[in-house]
Structure 1
Amino acid sequence: MKKVKMVFNSLMTHRFKLCFLPLMAALAMKASRLSTQDLQNFYLYLQNNHTSLTFFSLSLVLGSILYILTRPKPVYLVDFGCYLPPSHLKVSVQKIMNHIRVVRGTGVWNHESDYLMDFVEKILERSGLGQETYIPEGLLCVPLQQTMAMSRKETEEVIFGAVDNLFRNTGISPSDIGILVVNSSTFNPTPSLSTVIVNKYKLRDNIKSLNLGGMGCSAGVIAIDVAKSLLQVQRNTYALVISTENITQNLYIGNNKSMLVTNCLFRIGGAAVLLSNRSVDRKRAKYKLVHTVRVHTGADDRSYGCATQEEDEDDIVGVSLSKDLPMVAARTLKINIATLGPLVLPLSEKFQFFVRFIKKKFFNPKLKHYLPDFKLAFEHFCIHAGGRALIDELEKNLQLSPLHVEASRMTLHRFGNTSSSSIWYELAYTEAKGRMKKGDRIWQIALGSGFKCNSSVWVALRNVKPSANNPWEDCLQKYPVEIDIDLKE
């Protein structure tokens, strides 16, 4: 049955080509029967109808020019780079717990009882994070150094590390960059991070730069969408997109359980992506951007308040996660899928969805909605590594195999939740494993506060090999790893 379904999907995908085959065959047969006299008559007709021929030719030329000038410029992903922190920032769960106990002793983290320590340790052990994630230097100090200077140091090291790697791999000069988009949700100093980059790399003075803040873990796709829009109106240029988040300034040191969860999941990370609308870059680009779909349900109060940065009862700032978060995430994801589905699914899946909709609407209201098979639309899935529960839920709801979510699980295990940059570590993992083939389609999907669910769809332009300094180079042989069974309970 599965093979029959695959054949049917293939036929539906190439239906227009198949429809033209009989027409082409008929024309070929007709042409083979034309006599010399018929060809001479056709030639004389063209000679005697110069006006019609000229009008037809001009219309064809003008139509072609108009199409070329008005069609959206294709956007190519030339390359991307992910930041790999230095080894001295690597921490295990045990090291984190020991450090917390030492920090508690300084009075900075004033717990009233040990039950919060037990809670943190339990979350860490069941989070899906491994023993080699990274935390910033300021948080390894005793007492903690959550200063503006240390926060700047963390973010600059991440951004400059990723961008330097990208420039080395592509050979692009900073002066070639015409568009700069930076996203960092909770750390937005003055001058802005985009200005920091302009100053560091001496970017040109007419650069179009934007700094996106407060947009959560899904901001990486938003930044790509913004860069795409700018590339549609600015010809023959490059766009540099940088996604990161700051951990130093955002460590919560209070006693609220819902705010402590983020401490256990978030780790250092960042990515730099080089996009181009230059046709000459197609030959060397890795991917072509096909679609971006953004869904924002912030008009609903529960969506708006499910992840909020605020003070706790002791006036200590942290990010509070509400009990409505799973429900809000599921609903926003459903809207995104409903929007994306018609753009990417084969006709056979759309037809089955329509049939089920009619049956449910007019015959059996209790019938469940048809869940399209997105495995027919994509070969690779980059699900935001926000947490083990999020990956589990998407794997179940989208009926994915363990292989489809391997990149997400391993990214969470190796690097933790790196916020908006996690989808790039996942893509780097797929490349490092040698799985990216020409024509493969990739779905990057991320969820974030607001509440937002955003998707970007890419197609591989060639068999993609990992770029130099891929973040998985030093540990790829160990992955995939078996996740402890206790983590799934």
Structure 2
Amino acid sequence: MGAAATIMTNSPEHARFWLGPIVRTLTAAWDSDYRCAFQEDDDEGITGINLSKDLPVVVANALMGHITAFGPPNRLFSAGAKEGRRYYRPAFGKVFQHFCIHPGGPRVLYEVQRGLGLSDRDMEASHMTLHRFGNMASSSLLYELDYIQAKRWMNKGDRLCMISFSPGIECSSVMWECVKPTADTDSGPWAGCIHRYPVQLPKIVKRA
């Protein structure tokens, strides 16, 4: 809902993207997921959001179940992370050319990259948006899309995968196909600074 500022049209003359499948997965039935991002009062009675230290892993596990519904037919099987389970990982690199991942934090992005087998280039728009603007909820994905366009990476026929997260845990995904690349890559939130990106970011240290 935070990305509702984007304008949609039914005009073939003005449309730049074709809207593909939309999938939403909610894992609130699991106590660990339901409590990993929770609004509550602290010892002084101040209301805030309590984020569990396990949030990145919870998000990654929720995403693995989500892509079962969203993933393309071409499947790559790999061993699961818990109790010897096995899950499939869709060959996203063969289906999508670009990715916009909700920048919930560096470790969240790391876990998503590891879980989906994405490259550093796939994750660049997400990391750079988090670096410059922070986490702006699902509207962050539009800034990531603008980064891709400002870099002149988007071509006609390219497919874009957007994935967002919210407390619950909820995963939402949408596919876009480019029908008309933008000719104006010198405006928007990255105007005047896109040449400075990407920047070097601290490496994520894997927890034992």
Coarse TM-score class (shorter-chain normalised) = 0.7 to 0.9
Q: 1:444 aligns with which of 139, 152, 162?
A: 162
Local SS of the residue matching 1:294 = strand
Asked if 2 retains the 8 angstrom alpha-carbon contact of 1:436 and 1:465, the reply is: no
- Could you tell me which residue of structure 2 aligns to residue 294 of structure 1? 24
Asked if 2 retains the 8 angstrom alpha-carbon contact of 1:432 and 1:465, the reply is: no
Q: CA RMSD in A?
A: 2.3
- Could you tell me which residue of structure 2 aligns to residue 284 of structure 1? 14
Q: Normalized per residue, which structure has more helix?
A: 1
Alignment of 1:419 onto 2:149: no
Q: 1:402 aligns with which of 99, 108, 120?
A: 120
Superposed counterparts of 1:172-187, under 5 Å: 183=1
Local SS of the residue matching 2:45 = coil
Q: Offset of 1:479 from its aligned partner?
A: 0.7
- Could you tell me which residue of structure 1 aligns to residue 38 of structure 2? 308
Q: 1:465 aligns with which of 171, 180, 183?
A: 183
Asked if 2 retains the 8 angstrom alpha-carbon contact of 1:288 and 1:461, the reply is: yes
The alignment of Structure 1 onto Structure 2 pairs a total of residues equal to 202
In 2, the alpha carbon distance for the partners of 1:476 and 1:291 equals 30
Unaligned stretches of 5+ residues in structure 1: 1-182, 184-218, 221-240, 242-271, 358-364
In 2, the alpha carbon distance for the partners of 1:392 and 1:325 equals 12
Q: Offset of 1:371 from its aligned partner?
A: 2.7
1:298 partner letter = A
Change (3 A) 1:446 1:313: same
Deviations 1:19-62 (A, max 9, x none): xxxxxxxxxxxxxxxxxxxxxxxxxxxxxxxxxxxxxxxxxxxx
- Could you tell me which residue of structure 1 aligns to residue 204 of structure 2? 488
Give the TM-score taking structure 2 as reference length. Answer: 0.88
Q: 2:100 aligns with which of 382, 385, 394?
A: 382
In 1, the alpha carbon distance for the partners of 2:137 and 2:88 equals 32
In 2, the alpha carbon distance for the partners of 1:369 and 1:322 equals 25
In 2, the alpha carbon distance for the partners of 1:457 and 1:474 equals 29
Q: 2:59 aligns with which of 313, 317, 329?
A: 329
Local SS of the residue matching 2:192 = coil
Local SS of the residue matching 2:128 = helix
Q: Offset of 1:392 from its aligned partner?
A: 1.2
Percent sequence identity over matched residues?
39
Asked if 2 retains the 8 angstrom alpha-carbon contact of 1:431 and 1:465, the reply is: no
- Could you tell me which residue of structure 2 aligns to residue 212 of structure 1? none
In 2, the alpha carbon distance for the partners of 1:299 and 1:369 equals 20
Change (3 A) 1:399 1:466: farther
Q: Offset of 1:296 from its aligned partner?
A: 0.7
- Could you tell me which residue of structure 2 aligns to residue 17 of structure 1? none
Higher Rg = 1
In 2, the alpha carbon distance for the partners of 1:295 and 1:367 equals 20
Asked if 2 retains the 8 angstrom alpha-carbon contact of 1:333 and 1:453, the reply is: yes
Asked if 2 retains the 8 angstrom alpha-carbon contact of 1:438 and 1:464, the reply is: no
- Could you tell me which residue of structure 1 aligns to residue 7 of structure 2? 274
Q: Normalized per residue, which structure has more strand?
A: 2
Local SS of the residue matching 2:6 = strand
Asked if 2 retains the 8 angstrom alpha-carbon contact of 1:293 and 1:340, the reply is: yes
- Could you tell me which residue of structure 2 aligns to residue 149 of structure 1? none
In 2, the alpha carbon distance for the partners of 1:297 and 1:336 equals 9
Q: Offset of 1:282 from its aligned partner?
A: 1.4
In 2, the alpha carbon distance for the partners of 1:374 and 1:382 equals 13
In 1, the alpha carbon distance for the partners of 2:183 and 2:7 equals 16
Q: 1:478 aligns with which of 167, 190, 196?
A: 196
In 2, the alpha carbon distance for the partners of 1:367 and 1:419 equals 32
Asked if 2 retains the 8 angstrom alpha-carbon contact of 1:297 and 1:452, the reply is: yes
Deviations 1:43-88 (A, max 9, x none): xxxxxxxxxxxxxxxxxxxxxxxxxxxxxxxxxxxxxxxxxxxxxx
In 2, the alpha carbon distance for the partners of 1:424 and 1:378 equals 17
Asked if 1 retains the 8 angstrom alpha-carbon contact of 2:163 and 2:171, the reply is: yes
